[in-house]
Amino acid sequence: ANDNLIAPSILSADFARLGEEVNHVLAAGADIVHFDVMDNHYVPNLTIGPLVCEALRKHGVTAPIDVHLMVKPVDRIIPDFAAAGATYITFHPEASDHVDRSLQLIRDSGCKSGLVFNPATPLSYLEYVMDKVDMVLLMSVNPGFGGQKFIPATLDKLRQARRLIDESGLPIRLEIDGGVKVDNIRQIKEAGADTFVAGSAIFGAGRDEDANRYDSVIAAM
Ligand code: DX5
Ligand code: ZN
């Protein structure tokens, strides 16, 4: 029943022209901005923080910003992202000592909350906190880098997550992240996802000088 949302991951954007890149994918029909935060500790890579989120808001970006925290610890950075204009804040349960508290903190900060499941992380983390979650994000690659291959076992996990969400009757989005391409997105949709992160598939498209280079790939998704 949920509408489908396309969430370009700016991890694969040209960071030197980030505001322009984000405006281009939104103009091309993208729905939300996927914002990957890596700390060189929880994952072996280092990216962007609240300052960059705030800069996008100051640049005039009004679309929802979907902050995917790949950081440890989690709680300290939540209020900063809320103040910086985050819409969703999602985190990996293994990275928080108190998952329930972190979820509550996100909502108390005025944002929508979400849990992120690595390929080997069981969905059982949801069992007692379902009512505190606005988004379930399944990783279909191991987190840390763009451009990896979709792990096929995620399709079964998506079906399980879809069942859990439907049984709960709660308006929880089901997001998929990693290796999503034009040629596998139908299959992923059929397995139950309604929110699709795509980094390299979108930002890798077309030539730099073409302002409409993202139109066809986003239209095909
Ligand atoms: C990986 C990030 C993803 C990444 C996806 O840790 O969470 O959001 O940017 O990139 P693609 O779509 O290229 O697999
Ligand atoms: Zn991500």
The CATH superfamily holding the domain 5-219 is Aldolase class I (3.20.20.70)
The reported pLDDT for the residue numbered 205 is 84
**Structure confidence at residue 132 (pLDDT):** 98
CA-to-CA distance for 109 and 126, rounded, in angstroms? 21
How many Å apart are CA 94 and CA 98, to the nearest integer? 9
- Predicted ipTM of the assembly: 0.99
* Average pLDDT for runs of 10 along the chain of length 221: 86 96 97 98 98 98 99 98 99 98 98 98 98 98 98 98 98 98 98 98 82 91 96
Residue among 38, 101, 44, 48 nearest 71 (CA): 38
Query: Which protein residue has the closest C-alpha to ligand 1 atom 10?
Result: 146
Task: Give residue ranges with CB within 6 A of ligand 1.
Answer: 9, 11-12, 34, 36, 68, 141, 143-148, 177-180, 197-201
pTM flag (> 0.95): yes
CA dihedral 209, 214, 215, 221 (to 10 degrees): 160
CA distances (Å), 35 to each of 32, 86, 179, in order?
A: 10, 9, 16
Per-domain boundaries in the chain: 5-219
